[in-house]
Structure 1
Amino acid sequence: MGRRDDDAPLRARVPADVERPDRIAFGMTGRQLVILTVTGLVLYAAWTALATVVPPVVFAACSVPILGAAFFLAVGRRDGIGLDRWLLAGWRHRRAPHRLVPSEWPIVAAPAWVATTRGPGDRLPLPAPLRLPAKGITPDGLVDLGSDGTTGLVAASTVAFGLRTPAEQNGLVAGFARWLHSLDGPAQILVRAQRVDLTQLADRIAAQAPSLPDPALEHAAMSHAAFLDDLGARRELLHRHVTVAVRSTRSPATTAHQAAETVRALSGCEVAARVLEPADAALTLAGALNPSAPSSPPPGRAVPDLDGSEEP
């Protein structure tokens, strides 16, 4: 039976934390129970060793802050993660080198006769080699992750979901759900918003307007160029780049097949998608590593000219 335009939009409950660990006992996870159990065992061992020399009241007074800190460490959260993991990540970040340079060889310390006036004492900390997860891009446009497999990148367009009827919205949601259910490996949807500068496009239109065959067309082109200049001056224009990444630890052919299936599935949601070629994949990775870079036309998309032709 087909859907009517007056159908109610689909509603689905999505958990706020789909990766929430299971509760084992007393409403706590295994990690929280381990932290509290280890703290209790350490305090019990300390009490058995100091019971003959430390009064129970003194030991209890000293144990309360330790138990409180352990409980806070177990159940506390910061930035959406457990406090113990947050502190561990901070400790690793503090010990990790903060200066990274692209180098395939270990960084060798400078000779002893080289001295500086910055850093601890008279020496600067040595930089460390920059190790990116991507090892390269294959001839098929896949991102080589070494032992972690390969990743296929798919450029996708957006859909004006709010302008559709309830029946059309239901169809889009159902198509997107079919793609999600078809996944058998990790996938990521990256949406980046970049500023758009219309000055160059407006200048091109104004420069080519006098060559148009009709004065009315020239006037329309000049008016459009003025509109673009005014729009860029009054508004902060953004362009959204949507990239879908699918990864597989199996053969590169499997990853390429998954990327092609992603294009096919998203086309059912009225999403214009295509697998990125090696050059476009390199541009996408470079843009993700440098979000503040000036905006450019989407990878692989030609820029239309006034005479109807396209510039590659």
Structure 2
Amino acid sequence: MSRRSEEAPLRARVPADIERADRIAFGMSGRQLVILAVAGLLLYAAWTAVATLVHPVVFLAGAMPVAAGAFLLAVGRRDGISLDAWVLAALRHRRSPRRLVPADGPVIPAPAWVQTAAGPGDRLPLPAPLRLPAKGITVDGLIDLGSDGTTGLVAASTVAFGLRTSGEQNALVAGFARWLHSLDGPAQIVVRAQRVDLTYLADRFLAAAPGLPHSALEEAANAHVAFLDDLAARRELLHRQITVAVRSRRGAHHTAHTAAETVRALAGCEVPARLLDGPDAAVRLAASLDPAAPALTPYSTSDRGDDL
């Protein structure tokens, strides 16, 4: 056994959150200090207003839940975001309309003679215009997010990590860590799995088998059809689609450069990857918005970089 294969598995330290706010005082960020300061000022103002009317113990008992709530709001986290941002998002979601329709402008109300049996005044509430975060897709495949910048999509495949030696695994981990350390903006890796139906392939092979130039080829095609039918009956095959999205607010050129660097970095990790152009990016986004859509066949050439 070579010395390289006896190397211990490598563990690379990477930043968990490149957008984490700077700590200013007491291990807290400026946002957290502002929340606690505002809560403290409000409690002080309330105490000065009722100091002559309320016993200090009674005021302290009433102020403790408020102070605890402010502290939890400042330091708490849920679903990977700060609790105050989570609460604001929940309030916006609660107040936002539930029915959305594609429209360029305001939705035109129905004529007055159209009567409904639900809603205030026997009128159903109008749906609101649907506003998607993506404004459009360029020819190069960059997604325009308006004030949030642009996003580039990279289609990636997988690598047989478990079949490599310890030294090879260390090289792959180190290469992946170098890519993570090189990021200066948000990045997301999306793995989408769908069931694969082999009936389409089996029917194509079966229909083409009689036209083959030799009987041995026809027998091989029929045997392959039987293999596909048996495989579909015994196994649940999955088609995995891996997409790496990188976003930048420094302009389309910087986003394209980051996406190209991602392809080169993943190639160094022996992960096949390619940039998605405009049509491919549109197809991938449409597929992500429709999870129930049928997956591509495993032999399709229109979605290179995906795995079965």
* TM superposition score category, shorter chain reference: 0.7 to 0.9
Q: Which of 156-165 and 176-185 deviates more? A: 176-185
Q: 8 Å contact 1:137–1:143 — kept in the other structure?
A: yes
Report the RMSD for the aligned CA atoms in angstroms: 3.1
Q: Aligned with 1:117: secondary structure?
A: coil
Q: Distance in 2 between matches of 1:224 and 1:202?
A: 8
Summarize the alignment of residues 169-208 of structure 1 with structure 2, pairs less than 5 Å apart. Answer: 169-208=169-208
Task: State whether structure 2 residue 44 is matched by structure 1 residue 34.
Answer: no
Q: Distance in 2 between matches of 1:20 and 1:185?
A: 12
- What is the DSSP-based 3-state SS (H/G/I as helix, E as strand, rest coil) of the residue aligned with 1:5? helix
1:88 counterpart residue number: 88
**Structure 2 residue identity aligned to 1:86:** W
Pair 1:241 & 2:241 matched: yes
1:16-55 equivalence runs, <5 A: 21=21, 28-55=28-55
State the 1:188 CA deviation: 2.8
SS at match of 2:190: strand
Give 3-state SS (helix, strand or coil) of 2:6's partner.
coil
- What letter corresponds to residue 167 of structure 2 in structure 1? A
Provide closer, same or farther for how the CA distance between residues 136 and 214 of structure 1 changes in structure 2, counting only shifts above 3 A. Answer: same
How far residue 243 of structure 1 moved from its aligned partner, in angstroms, is 1.7
For 1:265, the aligned partner's letter is A
The whole-number CA distance in structure 1 between the counterparts of 2:136 and 2:47 is 57
Question: Measured at CA, do residues 84 and 141 of structure 1 come closer, stay the same or move farther in structure 2, by a change above 3 Å?
Answer: closer
Match of 2:58 in 1: 58
Q: 1:13 is matched by which residue type in structure 2?
A: R
Q: Secondary structure at the match of 2:274?
A: strand
Identity across aligned pairs (percent)? 72
Amino acid aligned to 2:201: L
Letter in 2 for 1:142: L
- Partners of 1:147 and 1:21 in 2: CA distance: 20
Tell me by how many angstroms 1:299 deviates.
Answer: 11
Q: Which amino acid is the alignment partner of residue 169 of structure 1?
A: Q
1:156–1:242 contact (8 Å) kept in structure 2? yes
What amino acid is aligned across from residue 129 of structure 2 in structure 1?
Answer: P
Give the equivalent residue in structure 1 for 2:223: 223
3-state SS of paired residue (1:190): strand
Matches within 5 A, 1:1-312: 4-14=4-14, 21=21, 28-297=28-297, 301=301
Relative CO higher for 1 or 2, CA cutoff 8 Å, sep ≥ 6?
A: 2
- 4+ runs of 1 displaced by more than 6 Å? none
Residues 160 and 96 (structure 1 numbering): CA distance in 2 closer, same or farther, change over 3 Å?
A: same
Structure 2: how far apart are the matches of 1:81 and 1:136?
Answer: 27
Equivalent residues of 1:193, 1:241 under 8 A apart: yes
Change (3 A) 1:175 1:128: same
